[in-house]
């Protein structure tokens, strides 16, 4: 319980600033009865109460065959924006969200993160994603993604075949 109490997360506030919050403010335990009282941090309340309306779901099948950690993270991100059909990120913000800040050169980030992840997402999932890089002056600043849901049954069956091929290759042979 102490470990859970000591855990914290970073939250981006409405004004763009970031703060760290603990899930739990206090834990009180009665050792004789075994009863535990947990007081949640008041600042977490809006985030916890909105969970019923603001959550993302997807079929686990679609990420089983992915090899890149970035593919899975990007797929989850795109699924959360799927209803909008597009999303735009500052490149540095996207690197931070993907834990890919070690790619200092945009060309490396594009080649080793974006291109590989989008190839897997487009081949192995229920969505298709394209992107456009936005330059400001000579610097790449933002990326806009266009997200399309694959509704055609032929397209979906093709995805299932691709997933089966990838998973079949990775199964150990007896």
Domain extent at residue 118: 61-170
Q: Label residue 143 by pLDDT band (50, 70, 90).
A: very high
Six token digits for residue 9: 């997360």
The residue that leads in pLDDT, 50 or 105, is 105
Cα-Cα-Cα-Cα torsion 76, 77, 80, 84, nearest 10 degrees, comes to -140
- 17-21, 54-58, 91-95, 152-156, range with the lowest pLDDT: 54-58
DSSP 119: H
What single string gives the DSSP state of each residue in 75-90?
HHHHHHHGGGTEEEEE
- Asked whether residue 42 falls in the same domain as residue 118, the answer is no
pLDDT value of residue 26: 86
pLDDT exceeds cutoff 80 at 92: yes
- 10-24, 109-123, 137-151, range with the lowest pLDDT: 10-24
Number of domains in the chain: 2
CATH of the domain at 65: 1.10.10.10
DSSP 70: H
- 3-state DSSP percent of the chain in helix, strand and coil, to 5: 45, 25, 25
Q: Tens digits of per-residue pLDDT, 14-68?
A: 787 888 888 788 889 888 888 888 887 777 776 665 555 555 565 667 778 888 9
- Asked whether residue 27 falls in the same domain as residue 73, the answer is no
**In the chain, what percentage of residues exceed pLDDT 70?**
89
- Asked whether residue 100 falls in the same domain as residue 143, the answer is yes
Q: How far apart are alpha carbons 105 and 119 in whole angstroms?
A: 20
pLDDT value of residue 53: 53
Secondary structure element (H or E) that encloses residue 94, with its range:
helix 91-97
Q: Describe the crossing of helices 69-81 and 115-124 by its angle, rounded to 10 degrees.
A: 70
The residue that leads in pLDDT, 55 or 161, is 161
- Asked whether residue 46 falls in the same domain as residue 18, the answer is yes
- Asked whether residue 121 falls in the same domain as residue 76, the answer is yes
């Amino acid at each position: 319980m102490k470990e859970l109490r000591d855990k914290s997360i970073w939250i981006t506030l409405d004004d763009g600033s970031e703060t760290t919050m603990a899930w739990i403010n206090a834990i009180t335990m009665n050792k004789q009865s075994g009863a535990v009282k947990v007081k949640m941090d008041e600042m977490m309340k809006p985030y916890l109460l909105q969970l019923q309306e603001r959550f993302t779901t997807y079929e686990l099948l679609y990420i089983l065959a992915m090899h890149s950690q970035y593919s899975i993270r990007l797929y989850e991100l795109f699924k959360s924006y799927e209803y909008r059909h597009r999303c735009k990120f500052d490149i540095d913000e996207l690197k931070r969200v993907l834990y890919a800040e070690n790619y200092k050169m945009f060309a490396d980030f594009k080649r080793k993160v974006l291109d590989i992840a989008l190839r897997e997402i487009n081949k192995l999932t229920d969505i298709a994603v394209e992107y456009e890089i936005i330059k400001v002056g000579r610097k790449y600043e933002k990326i806009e993604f266009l997200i399309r849901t694959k509704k055609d049954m032929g397209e979906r069956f093709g995805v299932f075949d691709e997933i089966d091929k990838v998973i079949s290759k990775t199964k150990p042979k007896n």
